[in-house]
Structure formats: C-alpha cells, structure tokens
C-alpha cells in the first residue's frame, strides 16, 4: 500500500478524536531523558531524477559477478539463467500466488510444485521429495532432526567436508541438545567419518562434492552407516553436479538435501534461494515441510492437493515434524522452469561443460606451479598458496578479478587453512578469465 501523508487538519482531527492535544501527548509515558532528539544525517529532499542519478552512481561503485573474471563458489554459483525463466516467473498468476490451501483455486501452483518434487526426486535418485525448503543449510538441519526422529537416537556426526555455514546452521538448530559432533575441517579430503560411527549413531552427514571440492565415496559410507543402524544424509551444494555424477539415492543415501540455486536462480547477494529435501518413501511421514500429491476429483479428473500435512500449522505442535511454515515457491518455480528447458540431455551437457572448464582451470593453475589439493572434483577445487589467501583475494579484487573464497573467511582461527583458496569454474568461465586469474595470482605470489 502506498504511503498517503496526512494534512495538518487530518492530524488535528485524529488527535481530537482520541482526546490528545498534541502528538507529544502520545509519548507522555516515555521519560524525556530517553526520548532525546533524533536528527538523521540525511540530505534535503531532491527531485526524483536527481535521486535516480545518485542511486545509479552508488550502483556503479559495486563490482557485480558479471563485470569481470569470477571464480567464487562455495555454495552459491554463477550460471547462465535463460531469459525465459525470468519472463515466466513474473507472470501475475505466479508472482502473486502464495499458499495453495484451497486446491479448487490453486491447481496451477499445486501442479508446479508436484512437477518440482518429481524433478528433485529424479535428480537425487530418491522416492519422494517435498515442495522445497528455505535453502540448503536449513534443509540440512531439518534432515538431521528428521534422522533423529526416525532412528530414535541422538548422536550425529558432521563431516569435516561439510560447508561451514551449513555446519553452523545445524549447530544452531540443535543448540542445547546433546549428541552432535562436528569433525575437523578436511581440506585435503583427510579424516574418515566411518571411524566414528557406532551403535548409538543416528546419522552421518557428508557433502559431495564437499566444501573443498572433493568427491566422496557415497556407497562405502552408506554401507558403513547402515551396518550400525544409522542413516546417511548426503548434502549437495552444487545441484548441476547431479547431471554428471550418479544420484546419491542410487548409492545408498537415506536422505538427500541440496541447494537448488544453480538452476533458475541468480546469485542475488546471497538469497533468496531454494532448499531441496528428498528421502526414502518409508520415511515420508517424518519429512518436514509441504508435500504435494496427485489425486482425482469428484469427476475422476486428475488433480493436486497438499497431503500428509505434518507441519505445526496443521497439527498439534508436539506432533509436528517441523515448524517450517512455508516453502520457496517462486524460487522453486524458477528451478523447475530452468530444468524443464534443459531437459535430461541438456543438464548432462551443462554438467560436462562445467567439469571441462574446471579441468582447464586446474591445468592452468598447476602449470603455473600453484598446488591444487584435489584428486577429484566437479567444478570447484582448493589451492594452497605460499602466503595467506585473504590479502591475495583483496589485491585481485582491486584489479577486477574475483578470485574465489579464502577458507579463513568461513573458518577463522582454524589451523592450516590461512593459505587455502577455493576456486569455482562454471560454463560462464572463459579461457581469458582463467588466463587473467592465473597471471594475477603469479604476480601476487611473486
């Protein structure tokens, strides 16, 4: 609703109606020492065109992801999003749609969510997926809570290769509860989570490709977890990787969570994004969030409804699986449209292109004498510089090159990470970008 200013006569009429002589009377209960005076440091009013020019000047001070070589990843990736996606999600029937509680007037939204769930289930190799979560990190926390409900055990191990922000989100969700153990960071793929699994373990959480870019042996971890009656939760932060890698569900995962940003959703300063959560059918009643199901109406026609509603909005709080009360509907729609445009073959080609660009980056780095720690990777890798990575990244940013993420930024104070730099390459990474990065890195190292 637009702001409609009141005239002096309007204000006097309102004050007279409530029996106040002035606006100050409304604050009579507040001590004058607390009220003080507020003098905002703002310029005087300006005409609209002058304000627009000022804002454009501020915008020019920002260096956007597409303004030069860009190698930042670590959970949020720059991919090409077809113009069709943005055009379709801005249609009024999508942009204004919210909660599909009344299926008789929400069939379009419900069918879209059903298709989204189908796509996520196919990508992850699982039986069922929900209608989306807020993002990958909160989906991971919900999966941990889900595993504890299923197994009726509390002990959960988080791999040292799990994204630090995902780890911190799980820690926040489980604050005040016992049983959560976070393993030390594993930038070189070291550390074996299998050694920690015992009969009291509810679940182990791994990421593949992990935070440092390594691919994990999901089958071996699933077998080790299941031998002890534990569940395997697999986290995927780069959903494009599933166009090339075998689906976690086919390798034995019990719950798969992912960040879906790479499909249909631009970086947008870190959000909003779309979390994915899929599981085995036998666990569906412990799944958090919304679930859209297919049914038939009174005339026998195909239709869609929300089903198995186990959120605290719908049932008694103590019986609810989660207090998540919505889903990332518009971001899920963008995901669905983009993936539909790609199709299965298109997604595979896109994944191969990402991997080939990463191979070119790794070859160039190694050719320049820069140590790449990864033996396996998809489109992301970790390098060890001879000096702290953070100042190098800042120096390259001043030259217009966004050269990845220093691990120390997300793992401050952790041993042996100060010189580590995580680099990502996507289909948008050109040979010229790689040449510029490697040349600038060599210059800073020298």
Contact 343, 330 (CB under 8 A): no
- Tokens representing residue 335 in the block: 């995901």
Q: Do β-strands 380-384 and 420-424 pair in parallel, antiparallel, or remain unpaired?
A: antiparallel
pLDDT per residue of the chain (446 residues) written in tens, 0 to 9: 456 678 889 989 999 999 999 988 988 888 887 776 667 777 788 899 999 999 999 999 989 999 999 999 999 999 999 999 999 999 888 876 666 778 888 888 899 999 999 999 999 999 999 999 999 999 999 999 999 999 999 999 999 999 999 999 999 999 989 999 999 999 988 678 999 999 999 999 999 999 999 999 999 999 999 999 999 999 999 999 999 999 999 999 999 999 999 999 999 988 899 999 999 999 999 999 889 999 998 899 999 998 887 655 566 667 777 777 677 889 999 999 999 999 999 999 999 999 999 999 999 999 999 999 999 999 999 999 999 999 999 999 999 999 999 999 999 988 889 999 999 999 999 999 999 999 999 999 98
Beta bridge partners of 278: 129, 256
Taking the whole predicted model, whether its pTM rises above 0.85 is answered as: yes
271 CB-near residues (< 8 Å, 6+ apart): 135
Contact 257, 235 (CB under 8 A): yes
Q: In what order do the strands lie in the sheet with 201-207?
A: 128-129, 275-279, 255-259, 231-236, 201-207, 155-158, 180-182
Q: DSSP class of residue 5?
A: P
Burial class, 141, CB count within 10 angstroms (exposed 0-12 / middle 13-18 / buried 19+): buried
| Residue 7 to residue 184: CA distance in whole angstroms | 63
Write the DSSP string, 71-88. ---TT-------HHHHHH
| Residue 286 to residue 130: CA distance in whole angstroms | 11
């Amino acid at each position: 609703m637009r702001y409609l200013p009141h005239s002096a006569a309007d204000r006097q009429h309102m004050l007279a109606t409530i029996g106040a002589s002035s606006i100050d009377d409304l604050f009579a209960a507040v001590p004058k020492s607390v009220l003080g005076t507020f003098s905002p440091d703002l310029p005087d009013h300006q005409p609209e065109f002058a304000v627009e020019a000022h804002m454009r000047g501020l915008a020019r001070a920002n260096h956007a992801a597409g303004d030069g070589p860009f190698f930042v990843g670590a959970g949020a990736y720059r991919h090409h999003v077809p113009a069709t996606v943005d055009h379709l999600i801005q249609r009024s029937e999508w942009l204004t749609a919210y909660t599909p509680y009344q299926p008789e007037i929400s069939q379009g939204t419900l069918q879209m969510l059903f298709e989204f769930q189908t796509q996520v289930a196919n990508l992850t190799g699982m039986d069922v997926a929900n209608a989306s979560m807020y993002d990958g990190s909160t989906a991971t926390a919900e999966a941990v809570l889900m595993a504890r409900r299923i197994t009726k055990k509390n002990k959960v191990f988080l791999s040292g290769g799990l994204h630090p922000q995902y780890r911190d989100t799980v820690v926040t969700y489980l604050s005040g509860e016992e049983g959560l153990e976070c393993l030390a960071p594993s930038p070189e793929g070291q550390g074996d989570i299998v050694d920690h699994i015992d009969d009291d373990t509810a679940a182990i959480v791994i990421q593949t490709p992990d935070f440092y870019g390594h691919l994990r042996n999901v089958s071996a971890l699933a077998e080790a977890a299941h031998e002890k009656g534990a569940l395997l939760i697999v986290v995927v932060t780069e959903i494009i990787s599933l166009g090339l890698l075998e689906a976690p569900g086919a390798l034995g995962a019990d719950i798969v969570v992912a960040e879906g940003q790479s499909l249909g959703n631009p970086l947008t300063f870190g959000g909003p994004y779309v979390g994915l959560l899929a599981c085995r059918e036998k666990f569906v009643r412990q799944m958090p969030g919304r679930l859209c199901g297919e049914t038939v109406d009174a005339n026998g026609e195909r239709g869609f409804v929300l089903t198995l509603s186990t959120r605290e909005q719908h049932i008694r709080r103590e019986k609810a699986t989660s207090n998540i009360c919505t889903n990332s509907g518009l971001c899920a729609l963008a995901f669905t449209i983009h993936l539909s445009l790609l199709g299965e073959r298109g997604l595979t080609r896109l994944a191969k292109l990402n991997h080939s660009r990463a191979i070119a980056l790794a070859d160039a780095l190694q050719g320049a004498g820069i140590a790449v720690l990864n033996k396996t990777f998809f489109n992301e890798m970790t390098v060890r510089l001879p000096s702290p990575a953070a100042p190098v990244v800042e120096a390259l940013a001043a030259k217009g090159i966004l050269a990845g993420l220093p691990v120390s930024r997300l793992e401050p104070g952790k041993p042996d990470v100060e010189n580590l730099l995580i680099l990502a390459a996507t289909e948008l990474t050109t040979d010229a970008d790689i040449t510029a990065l490697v040349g600038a890195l060599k210059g800073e190292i020298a």
